[in-house]
Homo-oligomer: A and B are copies of this chain.
């Protein structure tokens, strides 16, 4: 054993190695085997394990890519291949870059002109509840901002440890961030029977359970939910705000899926609801709200750009925020530009508007999708209200559970592994997100094109019927 291995920081050592890595590796192998001509019941792997839209076949928006290309290589602006509004936008953005180059560093919080645009967007989105540019920080992805806020909030040498309340189920990256900063995780369970509703009684129970174990300082919510696909009502958000105010918790609101709302529900940001609740709450509750260019309709994960808006933080604390964000210079400039394009799209009458507006029309309706899933024996699935994922519950036959346990696998991981092997579909098991003891789920992205989703449903149905038969 090397000396270094003994020395590795225990927080890092405790970071959970995702079991999904094995599945991902196998998917890559299968792709390679298919390339080598190996015969399987399918000719390609459908990967719906992440919310990576471009990887799943979505075409990027021309307007976005044209502006980015023009900013990178301004000589393009002399050509007549690019629409006028693309050139105008690129000129404005380049003018805001130091040395008129996207190769320069920017201010730690982002290019002031773009940060200003973000604040205007937020104010518009939130029905006039004001957003201030000095409260916004752009970062390489929203998760990066979440980690920075956790660094601020979590005292990793305190005893008892600093606790953070997080939902079950919760996507894995936030769990990893919490482990890395040395936080104690305080789980609260979303109510699956009620469509993954966030219930305040459960928050109270969770807080109570932490007594004597850790010192909770923050509550993390994700709305629309990932993987749960629920959307909180205004009333539900009000209840949460009331709760954090009473308990003096910092509120971390992950709202990266805010554009994806289906059915009758409406998206309300925590910032808006807080603002509209009025004083004293609107002047006191400390809130961080996160958004991203990866998860919106842009789907530009590879650019790595997100932002956080901070509300009601003490100026002395904001100085620490500045220090944390300035340490890594700045977010990628092209990602900053993508955020500008995301919040300020072409308007009716602009040359790029017609093409831009066709976005998203080719998706399968989530209602149809859950209907198909629910028609399969052993599956039960709440309507997806928002977000990028469906998270159906899987009622596995006892024989399948025994078989999985014998193989040293979580039962839903066993199911996903078979689905990949036999159906050529890569999904993620519920065990990656946390779930009530004895329940099993799978998560998959619902945003790929109709063609892909129809093929996926076909393969899932056929695989599942066989699986249930094999283990009945």
Cα(A143)–Cα(B180), bound, Å: 18
> Is A9 within 8 A of B69, CB to CB?
no
> Is B1 within 8 A of A152, CB to CB?
no
| The one of B50, B157, B303, B320 that contacts A332, using a Cβ cutoff of 8 Å | B303
Contacts of A364 in B (CB 8 A): none
Cα(A246)–Cα(B399), bound, Å: 57
> Is B304 within 8 A of A5, CB to CB?
no
> Is A153 within 8 A of B76, CB to CB?
no
Is residue A329 contacting chain B, with contact meaning CB distance below 8 A?
Answer: yes
Quote the shortest CB–CB distance from A440 to chain B (angstroms). 25
Is residue A205 contacting chain B, with contact meaning CB distance below 8 A?
Answer: no
Given A54-B101, A98-B54, A105-B50, answer yes or no on A140-B177 (Cβ-Cβ < 8 Å): no
Contacts of A153 in B (CB 8 A): 4, 7-9
> Is B104 within 8 A of A301, CB to CB?
yes
Instruction: Mark out the residues of chain A between 13 and 62 whose CB falls within 8 Å of any chain B CB in the assembled complex.
Output: 13, 15, 17, 50, 52-58, 60, 62
Given A55-B98, A79-B79, answer yes or no on A141-B314 (Cβ-Cβ < 8 Å): no
Cα(A7)–Cα(B156), bound, Å: 11
| The one of B300, B313, B327 that contacts A4, using a Cβ cutoff of 8 Å | B313
Given A9-B152, A17-B323, A323-B176, answer yes or no on A57-B332 (Cβ-Cβ < 8 Å): no
| The one of B5, B299, B314 that contacts A316, using a Cβ cutoff of 8 Å | B5
A 58-85 to B, binary, CB cutoff 8 A, 1 in contact else 0: 1010100110111011011001010000
Is residue A281 contacting chain B, with contact meaning CB distance below 8 A?
Answer: no
Instruction: Mark out the residues of chain A between 270 and 311 whose CB falls within 8 Å of any chain B CB in the assembled complex.
Output: 286, 298-304
| The one of B3, B104, B140 that contacts A248, using a Cβ cutoff of 8 Å | B3
Cα(A81)–Cα(B76), bound, Å: 9
Is residue A12 contacting chain B, with contact meaning CB distance below 8 A?
Answer: yes
Binding site for B on A (CB under 8 A): 1-5, 7-13, 15, 17, 50, 52-58, 60, 62, 65-66, 68-70, 72-73, 75-76, 79, 81, 97-99, 101-106, 140-141, 143-144, 147, 151-157, 162, 173, 176-177, 180, 182, 217, 248, 250, 286, 298-304, 313-314, 316-317, 319-320, 323-324, 327-335
Contact sample, A vs B, 5 pairs, CB 8 Å cutoff: A12-B152, A62-B73, A65-B73, A156-B182, A302-B333
